[in-house]
């Protein structure tokens, strides 16, 4: 429960103390005399009237993500989602369903949004960070919830953030069924905010992708990132603003004239639809052996997380083009190569390890889905892990 108890139900309706969307206050009267101007919540920095205005903007953004699986309970205290796995409400029928849950945030990329006053893409980042983790085990994303903590009520800011979350859910085929908005003026500086997201999905137990099928000879396919995504922004800000003194509106020649703000706010790519397309194309054959979301730690660390004993992913430098934003950052910050690859995705947002026999077919499916991809390595016998060669 946040400072303002800013919950929404599956209808996007704000939930007060009595669950009907209105705030009910019962005050003890001891020591309060007629005409005594006592303190109010507004005096402490939380304006409940403005909060209600904020909540009124959210239902349309939630409803557009709904599917028939979302049960709308007016005035309820929770979002509801039907788990009838034998019906046609899901992408497939499930015999032995396993629920998958992920949570994540956006980190200090939010500082860039505050500098630009553009807040409609960080919600996409939030969904991406959670959903991209969930699909690594082959899950079908089902629903999403958000937590938004703010310094003060700001209906326009909240609407922009949730607009992005809603868009991310649409890209993920995932329903936004609820959330929490906490107004905490004593915890956050004026204009600051933070985000956390929660994604729940489902996977058939026999189809669970856990890396155990990864074998010597498998091919590592790298899926193109859209840019920095949502990791490494503490270093990015140190380089761009503290070291180089760049302004958010400065154009960057190496990035096609984009402003610093535009380049740094490029939203994280969501891979749910192309990955689901691959898995649906091979409903019986064991083609995809492992999936790694490339976040903090870079390619090697994240791929190493799914490698079985005595197998090593040998990744070939130069087998994919590195987006210009990374050499630009490296030059400005004089960052060493190994540090760049340890902190950033370097152009690969997700790695899919597949049977070599099906590698070309998987690449065509990804290309048809609009995702650039490259064969970036293979699996060899060796110490468990991954390395760049």
User: Which residues are CB-neighbours of 24 under 8 A, at least 6 positions away?
Assistant: 16, 17, 18
Candidate from 4-8, 180-184, 354-358 with smallest mean pLDDT: 4-8
Q: So what's the pLDDT on residue 38? A: 83
Burial 354-387 (b: 16+ CB within 10 A, else e): bbeebbeebbebbeebebebbbbbbbeeeeeebb
Highest average pLDDT, of 90-104, 149-163, 164-178, comes from 164-178
Whether residue 72 is predicted with pLDDT greater than 90 in this model: the reply is: no
The CA distance from 23 to 42, in Å, is: 13
The CA distance from 345 to 347, in Å, is: 6
Q: What angle do CA 265, 146, 43 make, to 5 degrees?
A: 95
Average pLDDT over residues 25-54: 66
Is the pTM higher than 0.85? The answer reads: yes
- The 10s digit of each residue's pLDDT in 322-336 is 999 999 999 999 999
Contact in structure between 137 and 97 (CB atoms under 8 Å) = no
Please, is 49 exposed, middle or buried when counting C-beta atoms within 10 Å of its C-beta (0-12, 13-18, 19+)? exposed
The CA distance from 195 to 113, in Å, is: 12
Please, is 131 exposed, middle or buried when counting C-beta atoms within 10 Å of its C-beta (0-12, 13-18, 19+)? buried
Q: What's the length of the chain?
A: 389
Average pLDDT over residues 66-85: 83
In whole numbers, what is the pLDDT of the chain averaged over residues?
A: 89
The CA distance from 68 to 59, in Å, is: 16
Read off the pLDDT band of 85 (50, 70, 90): low
- The 10s digit of each residue's pLDDT in 102-125 is 999 999 999 999 999 999 999 999
Read off the pLDDT band of 7 (50, 70, 90): low
Candidate from 43-57, 183-197, 371-385 with smallest mean pLDDT: 43-57
Domains and CATH numbers, the chain: 6-21+44-207 (3.30.1330.10), 219-388 (3.90.650.10)
Whether residue 252 is predicted with pLDDT greater than 50 in this model: the reply is: yes
Q: So what's the pLDDT on residue 174? A: 96
Whether residue 375 is predicted with pLDDT greater than 80 in this model: the reply is: yes
Going 83 to 105 to 348 to 121, the CA torsion angle's sign is: positive
The CA distance from 262 to 282, in Å, is: 38
Q: So what's the pLDDT on residue 52? A: 82
- The 10s digit of each residue's pLDDT in 309-325 is 999 999 999 999 999 99
User: Which residues are CB-neighbours of 188 under 8 A, at least 6 positions away?
Assistant: 149, 150, 151, 194
Q: What angle do CA 258, 260, 266 make, to 5 degrees?
A: 75
Q: So what's the pLDDT on residue 235? A: 98
The CA distance from 142 to 99, in Å, is: 10
Chain-centroid distance, C-alpha 384: 28
Q: So what's the pLDDT on residue 8? A: 59
Whether residue 77 is predicted with pLDDT greater than 90 in this model: the reply is: no
For residues 127 and 32, which has the higher predicted lDDT (pLDDT)? 127
Residue 341: enclosing H or E segment and its boundaries? helix 337-343
The CA distance from 44 to 251, in Å, is: 41
Going 344 to 347 to 211 to 274, the CA torsion angle's sign is: positive
Residue 247 token pair = 């302004």
Bridge partners, residue 351, by sequence: 222, 292
Q: So what's the pLDDT on residue 178? A: 93
Whether residue 17 is predicted with pLDDT greater than 60 in this model: the reply is: no
């Amino acid at each position: 429960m946040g400072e303002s108890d800013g919950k929404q139900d599956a209808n996007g309706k704000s939930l007060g103390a009595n669950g009907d969307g209105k705030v009910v206050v019962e005050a003890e009267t001891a020591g309060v005399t007629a005409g005594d101007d006592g303190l109010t919540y507004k005096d402490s920095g939380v304006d409940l009237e403005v909060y209600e205005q904020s909540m009124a903007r959210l239902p349309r953004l939630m409803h557009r993500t709904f599917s028939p699986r979302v049960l709308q309970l007016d005035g309820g205290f929770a979002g509801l989602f039907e788990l009838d796995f034998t019906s046609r409400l899901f992408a497939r029928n499930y015999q032995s369903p396993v629920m998958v849950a992920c949570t994540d945030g956006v980190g200090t990329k939010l500082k860039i949004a505050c500098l630009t006053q553009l807040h409609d893409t960080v919600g996409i980042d939030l969904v991406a960070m959670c959903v991209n983790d969930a699909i690594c085990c082959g899950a079908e994303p089902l629903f999403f919830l958000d937590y938004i903590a703010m310094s003060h009520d700001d209906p326009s800011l909240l609407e922009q953030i949730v607009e992005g979350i809603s868009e991310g859910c649409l890209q993920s085929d995932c329903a936004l069924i609820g959330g929490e908005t906490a107004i905490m003026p004593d915890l956050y500086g004026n204009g600051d905010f933070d985000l956390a997201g929660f994604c729940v999905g489902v996977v058939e137990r026999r189809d669970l992708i856990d890396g155990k099928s990864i074998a010597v000879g498998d091919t590592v396919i790298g899926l193109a990132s859209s840019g920095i995504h949502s990791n490494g922004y503490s270093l990015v800000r140190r380089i761009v603003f503290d070291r180089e003194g760049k302004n958010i509106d400065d154009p960057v020649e190496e990035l096609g004239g984009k402003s610093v703000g535009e380049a740094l706010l490029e939203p994280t790519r969501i891979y749910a639809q192309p990955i689901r397309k691959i898995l649906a194309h091979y409903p019986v054959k064991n083609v995809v052996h492992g999936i790694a979301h490339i976040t903090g730690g870079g390619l090697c660390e994240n791929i190493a997380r799914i490698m079985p004993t005595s197998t090593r992913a040998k990744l070939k430098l130069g087998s994919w083009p590195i987006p210009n934003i990374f050499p630009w950052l490296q030059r400005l910050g004089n960052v060493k190569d190994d540090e760049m690859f340890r902190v950033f995705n370097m152009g690969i947002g997700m790695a899919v390890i597949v049977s070599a026999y099906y590698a070309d077919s998987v690449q065509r499916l990804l290309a048809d889905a609009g995702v650039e991809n490259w064969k970036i390595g293979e699996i060899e016998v060796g110490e468990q892990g991954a390395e760049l060669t």
